Amino acid sequence: MHETKLQNLSEQQKVKFYQKGTFTVGNRLVDAETRSVQASDARSNAITSGHRACQGCGEALGARYALDAAMRAARNQLIAVNATGCLEVFSTPYPETSWQLPWMHSLFGNAPAVATGVAAAMRVKGRKDVRVVAQGGDGGTTDIGFGCLSGMFERNDDVLYVCYDNEAYMNTGVQRSSATPPAARTATTPAVGDKPGNVFGTGKNVPLIALAHNIPYVATASVANLHDLERKVTKAMEMEGSRYIHIFVPCPLGWGSAAEATIHVARLASESGLFPLWEAEHGEIIATLPIRRKVQVEAYLKTQRRFAHLFKPERDEVRIAALQRMADHNIKRFNLVREEKETAI
């Protein structure tokens, strides 16, 4: 029945590619086995067109890649649970829905627990073939849903949780979350006073906290490296138990970056070392993705108006340097630069 329905869907909504001078969309120049999920027009199109996300939305992009990969890995036997947030709101404007898979939204802070319930129902009904994905933004994951998330990890419930991290509460109008980086301007950390923007602190590194639960799989990923993102989702789907993927998704509206620069901004975050890409199994980091062309954090910061106060009216050398130290610490900690060839910007 599902097969037919999907076929009908793909006939009604024939997937089209709008590839413009990049190989990112599908790597169709590589051989069939190593092509990305998005390279195939037979992909499930989990979140189909017509949703209400802003131009350049990193979360919409990340969600499509993550869920299409997860659906392919699960042979379309997938159920998604969504926390309240941008993704939930823009994908289901009444009376429409973008979701081409069974999808449920309950509350802001309970997506991991609801997913646990769905997984329990599938287990008790002997539906081992049906897999469960839960997803939410950084607010729903690192703040309000954190207790439920940790509980899900601790019980090792059979759920893949995907966090789309755009580093603030975007749905409510760009307020600070525990994933907001130091110095960033948000509506609740305005760029005023002698220490404009968010405080410098340790923040809350949920991927590392997930790692500390010794769950089967933890990975960070970025919309700047979609092939890596798909590979990690596919790998996670091949495992059982609690799995966590934390995806870096720029928000042009909240960050004050250009809509067409989302991939570029995300790439600079990784290439500067501010957002390291790594994966871990059972509490041990097994791989990190090396920086191909290292950049200074300044190059990243300058793409976004949320950091504009670091450069105008005058350069805030102290705080730019502090952010650079964070990036350098990541590079050292995760061994991100394997060869000594730093390229000047």
Partner 1 sequence: MLKQIEGSRGVAEAVALCRPEVICAYPISPQTHIVEACGELVKSGELENCEYINVESEFAALSVAIGASAAGARSYTATASQGLLFMAEAVYNAAGLGLPIVMTIGNRAIGAPINIWNDHSDAMSMRDAGWIQLYAETNQEAADLHIQAFRLAERLSCPVMVCMDGFILTHAYEGIDIPDQAEVDAFLPPFVPQQVLDPADPYSIGAMVGPEAFTEVRYLAHDKQIQALEVIPEIQSAFEEQFGRDSGGLFHTHHCDGAATIVVTMGSLAGTLKDAVDELAEEGPRVGVLTLSCYRPFPKAELREALKKAKRIIVVEKCLATGFGGIVSTDLRMALQGMELIVKTVVAGLGGRPVTRPALKSMLRRALKGELADLHFLDLNRGMVDRELANQRKGIATGPTAENLLKDVAIHGTGA
Pick from 38, 100, 257, 272 the residue near partner 1 by CB under 8 A.
Answer: 100
Position 54 contacts partner 1 (CB under 8 A)? no
DSSP helix, strand, coil percent of the chain (3-state; round to 5):
40, 15, 45
Q: Which two tokens stand for residue 199?
A: 């405080």
What is d(CA 112, CA 215) in angstroms, rounded to the nearest whole number? 14
> How many Cα atoms sit within 13 Å of 69 on the Cβ side?
25
Provide, rounded to whole angstroms, the least separation between the CB of residue 170 and partner 1.
16
For partner 1, the closer CB: 100 or 178 = 100
What is d(CA 343, CA 296) in angstroms, rounded to the nearest whole number? 9
Position 219 contacts partner 1 (CB under 8 A)? no
| Candidates 101-109, 223-231, 294-302, 312-320; binding stretch for partner 1 (CB under 8 A) | 101-109
Position 186 contacts partner 1 (CB under 8 A)? no
Burial of 25 (0-12, 13-18, 19+ CB in 10 A): middle
Phi and psi, residue 199, nearest 5° = -70, 155
Give the footprint of partner 1 on residues 69-88 (CB under 8 A): 76-79, 81-82, 88
Pick from 50, 147, 173, 283 the residue near partner 1 by CB under 8 A.
Answer: 147
Give the bridge partners for 217, in sequence order: 243, 281
CB atoms within 10 A of CB 194: 4
Position 117 contacts partner 1 (CB under 8 A)? yes
For partner 1, the closer CB: 105 or 267 = 105
Pick from 41, 154, 238, 342 the residue near partner 1 by CB under 8 A.
Answer: 154
Pick from 1, 32, 318, 344 the residue near partner 1 by CB under 8 A.
Answer: 1
Position 212 contacts partner 1 (CB under 8 A)? no
Position 107 contacts partner 1 (CB under 8 A)? yes
